[in-house]
């Protein structure tokens, strides 16, 4: 039962990610100001969901647990490549940049 439920949740989240990526592509394509604002926001203020609500020591532990080592760092690349493909966001690398703040 749990496997079925998790499979459904994963498919639903995939649809959400696709929708938001489409919206981002469309909205960034023709709007230089939106591209500038998005780049600036990702570089200066973006943080993983929930990380601003927890004590820094817990966020650091989580970052090292999930993304430490070669396998963990390899998980960051697909995130950054997806952002890279959006209009005007090549090279921002938000996931790698934020994890570098945690020593990864």
Tens digits of residue pLDDT in 24-35: 999 999 999 999
Look at residue 49 and tell me whether its pLDDT is greater than 90. no
Per-residue DSSP letters for 46-62? ---TTTTTS-HHHHHHH
- Structural domain boundaries in the chain: 2-101
Spatial separation of the C-alpha atoms in residues 26 and 53, rounded to whole Å = 31
Burial 63-91 (b: 16+ CB within 10 A, else e): beeebeeeeeeeebeeebeebeebbebee
pTM of the model: 0.78
């Amino acid at each position: 039962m749990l496997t079925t439920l998790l499979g459904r949740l994963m498919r639903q989240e995939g649809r959400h990610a696709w929708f938001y990526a489409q919206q981002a592509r469309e909205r960034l394509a023709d709007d230089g100001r939106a591209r500038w604002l998005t780049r600036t926001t990702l570089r200066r203020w973006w943080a993983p969901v929930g990380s601003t609500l927890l004590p820094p020591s817990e966020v650091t532990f989580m970052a090292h647990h999930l993304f430490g080592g070669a396998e963990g760092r390899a998980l960051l690349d697909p995130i950054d490549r997806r952002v890279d493909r959006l209009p005007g966001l090549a090279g921002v690398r938000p996931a790698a940049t934020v994890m570098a703040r945690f020593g990864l």
